[in-house]
């Protein structure tokens, strides 16, 4: 099982990541800089909840049906889920974080990807 500190370390180890505290203490992980960024994960400290983007709705549904994620109530569109890290192995959580990072980095403009060395 990964602790909040483990998740924070894994998220911030990914390229061009910074974290802001928003929404009543949530740790929001973003790619880029404060002027040009894309959010890729939200950690709710102490609640064992990690919001991530999945490649598609099918993947999101598989995670939900497996009991390792829940539909995110505030992000109903797209393929965002609330991952339950205490129900997954460390490698699985790290892989899901990396996938979310890649998906969100790809949605930055070409100029932003070049600026942040993500091409």
| pLDDT score of 69 | 95
How does pLDDT run across 12-39, given as a tens digit for each residue?
A: 999 999 999 998 899 999 999 888 899 9
pLDDT one-digit tens code per residue, 101-110: 999 999 999 9
**pLDDT tens readout for residues 38-85:** 999 999 998 889 999 999 999 999 999 999 999 877 776 779 999 999
Q: Are 25 and 45 in contact (CB under 8 A)?
A: yes
The whole-model pTM stands at: 0.92
CATH number of the domain to which 91 belongs:
3.90.1150.30
Report which secondary-structure segment, H or E, holds 90.
helix 90-106
Residue 97, class by beta-carbon neighbours within 10 Å (0-12 exposed, 13-18 middle, 19+ buried)? buried
Residue range of the domain that includes 44: 4-115
What's the CA gap between 33 and 30, in Å, rounded? 8
Q: What is the pLDDT of residue 35?
A: 85
Q: Are 62 and 93 in contact (CB under 8 A)?
A: no
Residues paired with residue 30 on neighbouring β-strands, in sequence order: 18, 39
How many domains does the structure of the chain reveal? 1
Give the closest residue to 34 by CA, choosing from 51, 22, 50, 49.
Answer: 22
């Amino acid at each position: 099982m990964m602790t909040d500190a483990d998740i924070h370390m894994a998220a911030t180890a990914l390229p061009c990541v910074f974290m802001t505290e928003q929404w009543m203490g949530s740790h929001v992980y973003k790619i880029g800089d404060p002027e040009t960024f894309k959010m890729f994960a939200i950690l709710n400290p102490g609640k064992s909840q990690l919001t991530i983007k999945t490649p598609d709705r099918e993947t999101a549904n598989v995670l939900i049906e497996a009991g390792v994620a829940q539909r995110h109530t505030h992000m109903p569109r797209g393929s965002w889920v609330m991952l339950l890290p205490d129900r997954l192995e460390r490698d699985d959580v790290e892989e899901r974080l990396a996938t979310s990072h890649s998906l969100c980095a790809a949605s930055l403009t070409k100029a932003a990807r070049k600026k942040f060395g993500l091409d």
